[in-house]
Amino acid sequence: MRKLLFTLLLLLSASVYTIKPQTVQRPKLVVGIIVDQMRYEYLYRFYPYFGERGFKRLMSEGSNFTYAHYNYVPTQTAPGHASVSTGSTPFFHGIISNAWYDRTTKKGRTSVEDDSASTVGGNNDEGKKSPRMLLATTMTDQLKLASIGPSKVISVSIKDRAAILPGGHLADGAFWYDETNGNFITSSYYMKTLPDWVDKFNRKKLADKLLSKDWVLAKPEEAYKNNGADNSPFEHDVFKEGKTNFPHSFAKLKGEDFYGALPNTPYGNEMVKELACEAITNERLGKDDVTDFLAISFSSPDYVGHAYGIYSYEIQDIYIRLDEQIADLLKTLDEKVGKGNYLLFLTADHAAEETPGFLKSVNMPVGALNQARALDSLKGFCKNAFNANEVIEDFSNNQIFLNRKVIQNNSLNYHTVLQKLTDYLYNTFPQIQNIQTRDDLLGQTATREPKDFVLNGFNSVRSGDIAITLLPGYLPSNMSKGTTHGTSYAYDTHVPMLFYGWHVPAQENNSPVYIVDIAATICNLLHITEPSCCIGVPLIR
């Protein structure tokens, strides 16, 4: 279907008009980097340990927007990548979380699952994915449409959703890591067979080579003393070592556990960086007069943050190494595309809470709702108040989905049920900060400014009936190790936003800006139409 669409577009362009790329100045290549779970402060907390060619180069030679925030909930990977790419929020683009309850099928679904697709490059179902659930166009889609096809779009990541959503609907290729065998795969949505260069990359067995050596600190241990303690009680034993301190060995891991461990190390970022550099060379990105786009998502910091928390040697080390990997990428871009010929941005899909277990140990205000117990309590209330079972279909992502058929069959008033449940929640669970119902949200429209985080993240078709906001520092379940994200509080919303390269001035700006502004800025610089539901504004004029 995609190939047919572009064939028609090409025929149309030949018969109606021809775009002459040389008439408008554009960069040869756009590079979009999204770092999974990167807090803005990491640019400065780890600054003394960075080299001069990575983050520091982007910060000093580019535009550094120091007060960039997400403007919706939940702050998760899939909605983050979708929002950066579309310049909109889940209200419009429909990616309301990494996974959500589907009223139609009565079960959970992920943001990119697609049973009509099949795996390319593997013999399992890991490639049954596509961007079909994304309801808006992306900046990569707009680039493809503006050039009537010739612009090339390649997207790479460890995570499937982090490769698929930035690539948009019209990507030439999106590739992600298969944790069962250490290879990169794709979906039949994009192609029938892997490109030769990806197949050749897989045959190198880079995952085996990287995991054959221990994960050791990149700097002397003294450099890490200000970021917590190694082997702290707030860390998971990811590699089954019986400890959590450096060095980390993978010797006890076998089979799928072996390859599945790689994303939890700096080697996940290394794999992505190497594949991205291969894409630049083999896809000849930036080699002609039509702008190409390379989307790169570094997912390993998210795995490490979840496992070890933000006050850990591991999180500091992965950013020290990411700095080196970004320096290598910039060097490749300079050599293959030419310094000044590419336009680059770097941001994150969300940030992260300070390690909850540590905060609790120093008497900071943290806690949990215990969503499972809350659901049991709500079901009991519904039985007593409405004399009906199964009024609640699902409780996930801080949203309650009501069974409207049960409500109707029991002659209940939907709006009354909403109000009584809201009153019960407020009166029963002091962990709740705010509650908004579908009645509160319908008829309103998302805005660029975060006037209402819940509204900006609400999709009228896919979201639930009741949305709960917990107190700052509170989680849906107890967490003693590692950290997480997902809220509208600053620790989850404040992320880096860096622009670098073609026509980007060196500046530091602390005006409030939002993640939806990235797509608007890139499209404005390219002189192309912004994505279909973009609510951002250009930041570089």
In angstroms, rounded to a whole number, what is the distance separating the alpha carbons of residues 115 and 128? 6
Count Cβ atoms within 10 A of the Cβ of residue 415 and give its class: 0-12 exposed, 13-18 middle, 19 or more buried.
exposed
Terminal-to-terminal C-alpha distance of the chain: 37
Residue positions counted in the chain: 541
- The pairs formed by 196-205 with CB atoms below 8 angstroms and a separation of 24 or more are 196/282, 197/278, 197/279, 197/281, 197/282, 197/283, 198/121, 198/173, 198/275, 198/278, 199/121, 201/274, 201/275, 201/278, 202/121
196-233 burial, b if ≥16 CB within 10 A, otherwise e?
Answer: eebeebbeeebbeebbeeebebbeeeebbeebbebebe
In angstroms, rounded to a whole number, what is the distance separating the alpha carbons of residues 241 and 244? 7
For residues 388 and 120, the answer to whether their CB atoms sit within 8 Å is no
77 given a catalytic annotation: yes
Q: Which two tokens stand for residue 506?
A: 């060196």
Q: Which two tokens stand for residue 286?
A: 């930036």
DSSP codes joined into one string, 263-313: GGSHHHHHHHHHHHHHHHHHTTTT-SSS-EEEEEEE-HHHHHHHHH-SSSH
DSSP codes joined into one string, 406-419: HHHHTT--HHHHHH
**What single-letter amino acid sits at 248?**
H
Task: Tell how far CA 498 is from the center of its chain.
Answer: 16
Q: Which residues contact 270 (CB under 8 A, 6 or more apart)?
A: 206, 210, 321, 325
Residue 386 three-state SS: helix
In angstroms, rounded to a whole number, what is the distance separating the alpha carbons of residues 374 and 151? 50
- From the list 18, 23, 75, 77, the catalytic residue is 77
Q: Which residues contact 221 (CB under 8 A, 6 or more apart)?
A: 230, 246, 313
Q: Which two tokens stand for residue 374?
A: 């809350």
Residues marked as catalytic: 77
